[in-house]
């Protein structure tokens, strides 16, 4: 299998979908905006600095899913995608994905964002394979909790290796496109790591090791 792997946030889109979801919820008054915004911004700063406690963040972020009906949440998500995500999708991202698709490479999205947010984004890019943080579902409703290992930092490597075992295919060649230093562990596992509009830490690492640096902006 020849596999092209893509991060989403600030890689295929010019923004962070978790942060945009929080903005959307606050703007629509679906949450207490004063409390939610401050908490969300704190977690985002931790993410940028590489100090994010992913377990605590997921408990915070998934709480709203557990407090609302799934059908209502899906309506919110549809509006969210059109208002917040579609405007920041990068045209060059489609071109990059199609370059791999046209070579019959398998395609995979891997992200620390939760699956509920990721699904319509992956669908827009016509990518079926997704590794994301998994919200727990019970009786067809979200519980507000998560299951399994969060796909963040070293957790991405664990989840990726588990995924390979599950599909039972041998990896012959692989590419991984990401903007974040948090993805360095997985980038070191693939044949062709590519830094895409990288943050400063990833940029420095890419220059030191000799990884390609590209821009989709």
Query: Cβ atoms within 10 A of the Cβ of 161, count?
Result: 13
- The span from the CA of 109 to the CA of 116, in Å, is 14
CA-nearest of 61, 58, 74, 54 to 140 is: 74
- The span from the CA of 31 to the CA of 23, in Å, is 10
Cα separation of the two ends of the chain: 29
Task: Tell me which of 7, 18, 106, 179 is the catalytic residue.
Answer: 7
9 among known catalytic residues: yes
Angle at 43 between CA 37 and CA 45, to 5 degrees: 100
Based on the number of CB atoms within 10 Å of its own CB, is 176 exposed (0-12), middle (13-18) or buried (19 or more)? buried
Task: Tell me which of 9, 18, 106, 179 is the catalytic residue.
Answer: 9
7 among known catalytic residues: yes
Which CA distances in Å does 101 have to 2, 70, 96, 97, 171? 10, 33, 9, 6, 16
Q: Is the dihedral of CA 189, 46, 134, 26 positive or negative?
A: negative
Give the residue numbers marked as catalytic.
Answer: 7, 9
């Amino acid at each position: 299998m020849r596999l092209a792997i893509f991060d989403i946030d600030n890689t295929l889109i010019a923004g962070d979908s978790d942060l945009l979801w929080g903005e959307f919820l606050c703007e629509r008054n679906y949450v207490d905006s004063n409390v939610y915004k401050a908490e969300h911004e704190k977690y985002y700063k931790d993410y940028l600095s590489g100090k994010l406690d992913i377990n605590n963040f997921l408990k915070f972020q998934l709480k709203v899913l557990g407090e609302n009906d799934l059908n209502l949440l899906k309506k919110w998500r549809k509006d969210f995608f059109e208002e917040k995500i579609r405007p920041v999708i990068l045209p060059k991202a489609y071109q990059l994905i199609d370059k791999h698709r046209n070579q019959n490479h398998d395609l995979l999205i891997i992200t620390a964002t939760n699956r509920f947010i990721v699904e319509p984004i992956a669908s827009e890019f016509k990518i079926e394979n997704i590794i994301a943080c998994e919200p727990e579902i019970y009786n067809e409703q979200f519980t507000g909790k998560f299951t399994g290992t969060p796909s963040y930092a070293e957790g991405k490597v664990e989840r990726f290796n588990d995924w390979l075992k599950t599909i039972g295919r041998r990896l012959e060649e692989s590419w991984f496109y990401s903007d974040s230093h948090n993805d360095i562990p997985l980038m070191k596992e693939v044949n062709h790591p590519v830094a895409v509009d990288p943050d400063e830490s990833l940029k420095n690492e890419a220059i030191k090791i000799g990884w390609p640096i590209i821009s989709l902006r």
